[in-house]
Amino acid sequence: MKVLIVSTSESTGGGAIAAMRLKDALNKHGVRAKMLVRDRQTDSDTVTQTGSILPKAFERLAIMPWCGLSLQRSWLVDTAWLGVDITGTRDFRDADVIHLHWVNQGMLSLSELERILHCGKRVVWTLHDEWPFRGVCHYSGNCTSVGCQTCPLMRGSSPASILARKMRLYASHRITFVGCSQWMADLARRAMPNADVRCAPNCIPHDIFKPIPRLEARDRLGLPQDRQVIMFCSQRLDDKRKGMDYLDKALGHFPQAIALRVGKGGRQTCDPREMAALYSAADVFVSPSLQDNLPNTIAEAMSCGTPCVGFDTGGIPEMIRHMHTGYVARTCDAADLAKGINHVLAHDMRQAAYQYAAATYDETSVAEQYISIYESR
């Protein structure tokens, strides 16, 4: 079986990282998997680059007037008006299964998606956010607009017409959607009641993300041995959706602890093994996201034996077993977030967190789940 995994990026963003890890897991288990990306970061012979960033640039410019000339708001939506050609590539022609992941920001246009579906190949789409079944947004938040008729992010009729076009495509072609979390799968089923929707988690490479003795990890990173370390990680630390404001309030209860912030705006690293050391060095990992699917960071932290605290939102409560592998706090409640951090610091949950992650995000198990999906009819 030949599987082509399609992603905007090879390793930038949670969806891309999950796609890359799945590609590697499939190759370890007898599937010939390749990755087709626009933004390539390595010289791996299982990754091919196609297209350019021009569609992304042109689409951003086209979106701006409809987003009130707000650059910040324009990055919250994708119209898929423009994209790159993948159906003309050799990798696409050779593949038996086309597996879409996060394909926004000028990677796939709706027209290219239609061409993909017309080819008659088996198509699977992993849902890293809500965009595939919404109009233009990645997360709908508290939006109650029916059919995207009154989009709070983008003026005009485009959100509704884009959603309608997606639904027509899905209704006339065979496609399997896979939610990384049960929360995402349930959202998809409600939005697309006639669609084939499954659920399978992301996998974590346990040869990299595994427990390192805490004192050894801290010594390697130059962190003090006698202080409690509270860790937070995000691609961008100023992303409001990641709940940094609530974390700052919660951290006020722990003036003696070290707040280890990893990401743009804090300590930066692209090395997975350094990330494993950072997780292992921390006493607790906090993910105060206001809406999230299945954060890789929580799975990685627990794989390193670090218990986690997060809000009761999105797929997070599926990942953290309350009071056993961490603490699930009331959403948008900084005081309860602080209570959760304190509870984890006072109880040894490291072994329980590790065992749960090792069983749930195992590469072999996840690869087998996807192989079953590819082969199902």
Distance between CA atoms of 352 and 323, rounded to whole angstroms? 10
What are the b/e assignments for 283-321, b being 16+ CB within 10 Å?
bbbbbbbbbbbbbbbbbbbbbbbbbbbbbebbbbbbbbb
pLDDT category of residue 266 using cuts at 50, 70 and 90? confident
CA neighbor of 117 nearest in space, from 175, 160, 58, 186: 175
Mean pLDDT of 337-364: 97
Four-point Cα dihedral 276, 280, 286, 287, nearest 10 = 20
pLDDT category of residue 238 using cuts at 50, 70 and 90? confident
Tens digit of pLDDT for each residue in 130-179? Answer: 999 999 999 998 899 999 999 999 999 999 999 999 999 999 999 999 99
On average, the pLDDT of the chain sits at 95
User: H/E element holding 47?
Assistant: strand 47-49
Backbone angle region of 227, left / alpha / beta, with phi > 0 → left and psi within -120 to 50 → alpha:
beta
pLDDT category of residue 14 using cuts at 50, 70 and 90? very high
Judged against a pLDDT cut of 90, whether residue 248 lies above it is answered with yes
* Between residues 81 and 234, the one the model is more confident about: 81
The pLDDT, as a whole number, for residue 319 is 97
Using alpha carbons only, what angle is made at residue 133 by residues 68 and 11, rounded to the nearest 5 degrees? 80
Judged against a pLDDT cut of 90, whether residue 285 lies above it is answered with yes
The pLDDT, as a whole number, for residue 304 is 98
The pLDDT, as a whole number, for residue 241 is 80
The pLDDT, as a whole number, for residue 240 is 78
Q: Which residue has the tokens 């199902």?
A: 376
Radius of gyration for the chain, computed over Cα atoms and rounded to the nearest angstrom: 21
Judged against a pLDDT cut of 90, whether residue 101 lies above it is answered with yes
Mean pLDDT of 265-272: 82
Q: Are 52 and 38 in contact (CB under 8 A)?
A: yes
Mean pLDDT of 6-19: 96
Start-to-end CA distance of the chain, whole Å, equals: 15
3-state secondary structure of 49: strand
Mean pLDDT of 247-261: 95
Q: Are 81 and 95 in contact (CB under 8 A)?
A: no
Distance between CA atoms of 375 and 372, rounded to whole angstroms? 5
The pLDDT, as a whole number, for residue 158 is 96
Q: What is the DSSP string of 216-260?
A: HHHHHHT--SSS-EEEEEEEETT-GGGTHHHHHHHHTT-TTSEEE
Mean pLDDT of 256-262: 94
The pLDDT, as a whole number, for residue 273 is 95
pLDDT category of residue 114 using cuts at 50, 70 and 90? very high
* Between residues 97 and 69, the one the model is more confident about: 97
Tens digit of pLDDT for each residue in 324-346? Answer: 999 999 999 999 999 999 999 99
pLDDT category of residue 70 using cuts at 50, 70 and 90? confident
The structure's pTM equals 0.94
Mean pLDDT of 233-253: 87
The pLDDT, as a whole number, for residue 263 is 85
Mean pLDDT of 82-99: 97
Mean pLDDT of 238-248: 86
